[in-house]
Structure 1
Amino acid sequence: MDYLAINRETWNKRTEIHVESDFYDIDGFLSGNCTLNDIELSALGDVTNKTLLHLQCHFGLDTLSWARRGAKVTGVDLSNTAIDKATKFSNQTQLDANFICSDVYSFDDINNQQFDIVFTSYGTICWLPCLKQWAKVIVNSLKKGGTFYIAEFHPCYDLISGYSYFDKNQPDIEEEATYSENAGDETSKVVLWPHAISSVINALIDEGLVIEHVNEFPYSPYNCFEGLTEIENGKFALLHKEHNIPLVFSIKATKPK
């Protein structure tokens, strides 16, 4: 099974839907809105003149939001449609950015640059079968003393939705509609792997990164799952037996000098 080809086709289709959605609010972004959330903004702070690699960047709104905050950005995504859109938005906003069409693992073979920051967020690692290889790409892409940061949806949500919390050798293969409000009835095949938080942390440690902190959050900054309730502006929670379940986790790590 060529999971990359299957997922690339799905994300090419999803990109065309997403750029027309209220969920992504392209007009708002083009008029100057920042698409980043307090979770990642507070963790990474001032990025002025820092080089930043955004892995699995979709069509680049978050990447370009980092550029608006002064970073020198490179975005990578396996979807050629998404990269074409990202380049278009870079040109429209006159924000300097480099966008590369590649899956995460293959990027390691073509990249000859090291960055101050490697960033990834929200719905990324479930598309990857091997976290060890993912962590190698991160370490190889970081300068000594550089920072890796991930904000990611918490696997607890998948568990209560009927999927495995723990890693599996075989992926989950589903036919799904996308998560934006304009998805309609069209579905696409997706190939996904579960990853426990301990697996994410250990993959990074095993490749030599030093973990600075691990945080968990009782809300999602996106209303993209079934059953969420807005508890504050831009914060969406889910109760399980009258208690908030964790919906996001984050990890900040450093490559030793």
Structure 2
Amino acid sequence: MKLVVVSAGLSVPSSTRLLADRLAAATAERLPADTETQVVELRDLAVEIANNFVTGFPGPALSRAIDAVTQADGLIVVTPVFTASYSGLFKSFFDVIDKDALAGKPVLIAATGGTPRHSLVLEHALRPLFAYLRAVVVPTAVYAASEDWGADGLAARIERAGAELAALAGATASAVGPVSAATAPAATASVPSARRRAEGESAAGTSTSARGPVGGSAADGPLEVIPFEQQLAALRAM
């Protein structure tokens, strides 16, 4: 497996990189021993990112970084907060990646800032960004203000987020492996069917619940539950 960490910190040393390293460690310890962890430092790619916007072509270092991110089994992204949002460098990097390249990718989002009042940047900026890119963002996002370092709570959030990413990355890797050209269409077809049932619409147009059809015939059968791993594998195979 391959775990890739994207750090948008600018200073050396950087609290953003420190948080990224701690998240990577918490995730990697729950993944197979042969898991490869790679860190992408965006400050080293700033010039190539700018040139890419002008020329339309990535330089060699930027091309390698894009390949690493798009081929990762799990992705950790960490940005400093600039003007109540992610940094311009962070956004620019993901702007040069194809919008479909992260579809189905397990992602852990995190940010650092000088005050806890910016913690909602995770929910109003980062999570919508990766939802647009159709990545699968883990439930726990991690924000570290200056006062959080060494305080109670940060370590627990890091461990919880790392465990969630490791579980999702492991499930995704195992689910994608067995998918073949022969089985992908059937799996893909089951996804919208499950979604319709979850929304209360059976094939006959009657409403359903977790206990089975309501007002439908016996032929409608019980609610069909498609495992998340199977749905994710089907979506990535499209």
Q: TM-score range by the shorter chain?
A: 0.3 to 0.5
- Structure 2 length-normalised TM: 0.37
- Structure 1 length-normalised TM: 0.35
Of Structure 1 and Structure 2, which has the larger fraction of its residues in helix?
Answer: 2
Of Structure 1 and Structure 2, which has the larger fraction of its residues in strand?
Answer: 1
Structure label with greater radius of gyration: 2
